[in-house]
């Protein structure tokens, strides 16, 4: 993990947002999302302000709108659920284009789509500007429980190893006449999954014992904590977005 592994969402583009320490970006994203969620759904103008904040950060990070919108399609299942709410909701109803729609359902659909979309876009911006290693380092600096950061570290470090192992096992099965397209081969597939689990477990035990023999004490290396830690200026710069978002949310609560 020392080489700064990147993930599929990371965009290696030099920008001010990329250069920020990971802990300030994580904290800013979480506080921004909390402010969005706390905003009353009737305050339509507030969500426009949040969208403007996201657009400004995307511009500073040099992340294009097309890239964001394409990857935001991950929320489509929730959007489809939201579309059904105006038809299934109870209470007062209104007519639109010959359709009888629930007023409460319309507000609920808007609430899900607006807040979900803003949350997804904020998460995508964090992922686009922060490597996998930096995400874990940032969580560690924010005093995230060690067990979580350690599990995430080992998972990311050995995920490619397990994927390669699964690929080799599949090739071995196919070369022996197995065809995973047929249901009657399900037993062989289940046996392969079980074998992969046992191999992963045994490999993890060997790696853990090897780390203990080299002085592992259950915590990340101290060098991860100190190198590149956020400065006061970086905290102040990153706080701009959540502070504005909290101000918008507070105003929306007062006016609604």
Q: What are 120-165's pLDDT values in tens digits?
A: 999 999 999 998 888 888 888 888 887 888 888 777 777 777 888 8
Mean pLDDT over residues 170-178, rounded? 77
- pLDDT of residue 80 exceeding 70, the answer is yes
- Tell me, yes or no, whether 119 and 236 share the same domain: yes
Classify residue 9: in a domain, yes or no: no
Classify residue 109: in a domain, yes or no: yes
- Tell me, yes or no, whether 116 and 21 share the same domain: yes
- Tell me, yes or no, whether 55 and 108 share the same domain: yes
Classify residue 3: in a domain, yes or no: no
- Tell me, yes or no, whether 182 and 72 share the same domain: no
Classify residue 148: in a domain, yes or no: no
Contacts of 103 by beta carbon, 8 Å cutoff, 6+ apart: 89, 91, 92, 93, 94
- Tell me, yes or no, whether 212 and 195 share the same domain: yes
Mean pLDDT of the chain: 83
Classify residue 160: in a domain, yes or no: yes
Question: Residue 107 — very low, low, confident or very high, per pLDDT cuts 50/70/90?
Answer: confident
Classify residue 159: in a domain, yes or no: yes
Question: Residue 4 — very low, low, confident or very high, per pLDDT cuts 50/70/90?
Answer: very low
- Tell me, yes or no, whether 55 and 21 share the same domain: yes
- Tell me, yes or no, whether 59 and 87 share the same domain: yes
Assess contact for 112 and 82: CB atoms under 8 A: yes
- Per-residue exposure over 102-140, b if at least 16 CB sit within 10 Å of its own CB, e if not: beebbbbbbbbbbbbbbbbbbbbbbbbbbbbbbbbbbbb
Total domain count for the chain? Answer: 2
Contacts of 43 by beta carbon, 8 Å cutoff, 6+ apart: 252, 253, 255, 256
Q: Hey, which residues does 99 pair with through a beta bridge?
A: 96
φ/ψ of 99, rounded to 5, equals: -110, 140
| Domain span holding position 168 | 155-224
Contacts of 238 by beta carbon, 8 Å cutoff, 6+ apart: 20, 24, 25, 27, 28, 230
Q: What pLDDT was estimated at residue 3? A: 42
- Tell me, yes or no, whether 233 and 206 share the same domain: no
Contacts of 140 by beta carbon, 8 Å cutoff, 6+ apart: 146, 149, 220, 224, 225
Q: What pLDDT was estimated at residue 31? A: 96
Classify residue 6: in a domain, yes or no: no
Classify residue 149: in a domain, yes or no: no
- Tell me, yes or no, whether 177 and 195 share the same domain: yes
Q: Which two tokens stand for residue 171?
A: 């090739």
- Tell me, yes or no, whether 167 and 133 share the same domain: no
- Tell me, yes or no, whether 42 and 134 share the same domain: yes
- Tell me, yes or no, whether 45 and 130 share the same domain: yes
Q: What are 214-232's pLDDT values in tens digits?
A: 887 766 665 555 556 788 8
């Amino acid at each position: 993990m020392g080489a700064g592994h990147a993930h599929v969402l990371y965009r290696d583009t030099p920008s001010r947002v990329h250069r920020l320490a990971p802990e300030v970006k994580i904290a800013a994203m979480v506080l921004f999302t909390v402010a969005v969620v706390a905003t009353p759904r009737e305050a339509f103008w507030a969500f426009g302000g949040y969208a403007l904040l996201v657009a400004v950060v995307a511009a500073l990070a040099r992340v294009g709108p097309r890239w964001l919108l394409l990857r935001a399609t991950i929320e489509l299942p929730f959007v489809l659920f939201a579309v059904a709410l105006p038809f299934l909701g109870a209470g007062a109803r209104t007519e639109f284009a010959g359709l009888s729609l629930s007023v409460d359902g319309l507000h609920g659909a808007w609430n899900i789509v607006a807040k979900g979309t803003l949350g997804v876009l904020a998460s995508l911006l964090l992922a686009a500007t922060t490597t996998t290693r930096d995400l874990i380092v940032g969580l560690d600096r924010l005093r995230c429980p060690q067990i979580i950061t350690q599990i995430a570290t080992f998972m990311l470090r050995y995920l490619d190893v397990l994927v390669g192992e699964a690929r080799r096992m599949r090739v071995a099965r196919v070369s022996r006449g197995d065809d995973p397209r047929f249901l009657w081969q399900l037993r062989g597939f289940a046996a392969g999954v079980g074998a992969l689990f046992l191999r992963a477990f045994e490999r993890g035990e060997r790696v853990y014992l090897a780390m203990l023999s080299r002085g592992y004490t259950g915590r990340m290396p101290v060098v991860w904590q100190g190198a590149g830690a956020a400065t006061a200026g970086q905290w102040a710069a990153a706080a701009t977005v959540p502070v504005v978002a909290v101000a918008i949310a507070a105003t929306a609560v007062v006016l609604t």
